Amino acid sequence: MVDYTIIDESSINPVVSIAMLTYNHQDYIGEAIESVLMQQTSYSYKIIIAEDYSTDKTREIILEYQRKNPAKIKLILQDVNVGASKNNVTLLSNLEGKYIAALEGDDYWTDPLKLQKQVDFLEANPDYVLCFHPVNILKTDGSIVDDFITKVPENYETIETLARFRNYIHTPTVVFRNIMKEFPFEFQLSPFGDYFLYMMLAEHGKLKCLQDKMAIYRYNVGVVSRMSGMDIANNNLKMYSCLISYFKNESIKRILFDKQINVVTSNYSLAILDYEKKFKSEHNIIFGFITILKLLKKPKKLWLTIKLKFSKLM
């Protein structure tokens, strides 16, 4: 059942589609779109935005951009909030062209030649399926710093390394070949779709990290940044379960299984710490309540206790 509306006034078949997920990005979406519109390319491109029924003015903003740029912007408007995973599958199922570039609505590009450089590389190197590049991080205080979140490992080009070191690729840096025509149920169930997608792509070729920094990643803005440690661990467990179900290659499954075991161990440790924290908190409350009851039986002692507390505050 289709639960979205498509607005597409262009008949252009682009060489590159820019896949943009957005939800409640009213403060950022304009900068993201502008950073795509500034791209200087020798080929056609189209921005395809999947908007997940935002509660702020995100939809109004992208509708206005589409009205001003009908030949370059295609909108997918969800009729209800479907969540990031389903919105992502909807977006990926409506992409056109030979190549796909990824940019979420809260990040932006900084180099007007970014698309040209990455497509040129993929055109010249058919054994590579995806290329990415370093980013700068925009912190919440407004400062822009070097990437302190990810580190690209040695021998990063292979699926084995990607499986072992997990995701070292920032979403706004990615351009890949548009070869994924079907998305398995495991992908649709995975809470982290970007890494799952890169793993699927890596079955078909190598990964390349270019050297130029050409994008800004906003730190502590996305959904993951608002998750607790327990939530992240649970979502990682779900993701690895989905990946293990999807992959048939035994060596890759073994790597993923080892990662899953590590997540289970970490999850257990987090659960113990959480329990101990809650137990200590509840114990302190109960102990304090009992102490007050005892003091109420001895008014003079209660008054002296209160007097002592206030004297320490003075």
Boundaries of every domain in the chain: 4-223, 227-314
pTM summary value? 0.84
Average pLDDT over residues 190-204: 96
Average pLDDT over residues 207-213: 98
Tell me how far CA of residue 118 lies from CA of 41, 99, 210, 312, in angstroms. Answer: 11, 10, 8, 65
Residue 273 pLDDT more than 80? no
pLDDT in the model for residue 1: 58
Q: How many CB atoms lie within 10 A of CB 311?
A: 8
Contacts of 199 (CB under 8 A, 6+ apart): 159, 162, 163, 243, 247
Q: 38-47, 60-69, 165-174, 255-264: which has the minimum mean pLDDT?
A: 255-264
Q: Among all chains, which residue has been given the structure tokens 């990437």?
A: 147
Please tell me the CATH code under which domain 4-223 is placed: 3.90.550.10
Residue 173 pLDDT more than 80? yes
Residue 303 pLDDT more than 60? no
Among residues 175, 178, 42, 173, the alpha carbon closest in space to that of 97 is found at 178
DSSP 65: H
**Between 224 and 190, the higher pLDDT residue:** 190
**Between 236 and 288, the higher pLDDT residue:** 236
Give the mean pLDDT of the chain.
89
Question: pLDDT tier at 276 (50, 70, 90 boundaries)?
Answer: low
